[in-house]
Amino acid sequence: MDKQHSQCSPCPVELTVNMIGGKYKLVILYQLAIHEVRRFNELRRELPNITPRTLTRQLRELESDGLINRQVYPEIPPKVEYSLSETGKSLNSILLQIENWGLKHITNNPK
């Protein structure tokens, strides 16, 4: 690895972690990467025991950081679709690598 920029001010890794560091954020992004479009309760079912309050907040944070889009359909019953923004999509290869890393290094020897 390059040894030039040992200093980070501010550290780009840290800045990125601040955006995607929530407990469920990467998993949400991962689900959206796989499914392209997901509704609120679909995500809820796919995330292990997440509460609606937490899911809402993580989605709002991802949205305000510009990583996902929130499309509201003015219908009854309500319909809201979440999807990756262009910026969010630029995380796809990282998401995939994280998934593969987990498959290789963790699920092989489950704790």
Partner DNA sequence: CGGGATCCCATTGGATACTG
Partner DNA sequence: CAGTATCCAATGGGATCCCG
Distances (CA, A) of 108 to 92, 97, 102, 104: 23, 16, 9, 6
CB of 29 to a second copy, least distance (A): 9
Give the residue among 35, 47, 50 at the shortest CA–CA distance from 82: 35
Size of the site for DNA (CB under 7 A): 24
Assess contact for 61 and 22: CB atoms under 8 A: yes
Cα–Cα distance, 13 to 35 (Å, whole number) = 27
- Calpha distance 30→101 (Å, rounded): 14
Q: Which stretch binds DNA (CB under 7 A): 5-13, 21-29, 93-101, 103-111?
A: 21-29
d(CA 35, CA 95): 13
Q: Is 53 in the site for a second copy (CB under 8 A)?
A: no
Q: Does 50 bind a second copy (CB under 8 A)?
A: no
One of 15, 79, 97, 101 touching DNA (CB under 7 A): 79
Residue 71 contact among a second copy, DNA, none, beta carbon within 5 to 8 Å by kind? none
Residue 69 contact partner, candidates a second copy, DNA, none, CB within 5 to 8 A by sort of partner: none
Interface ranges with DNA (CB under 7 A): 22-24, 39-42, 49-54, 56-60, 70, 77-81
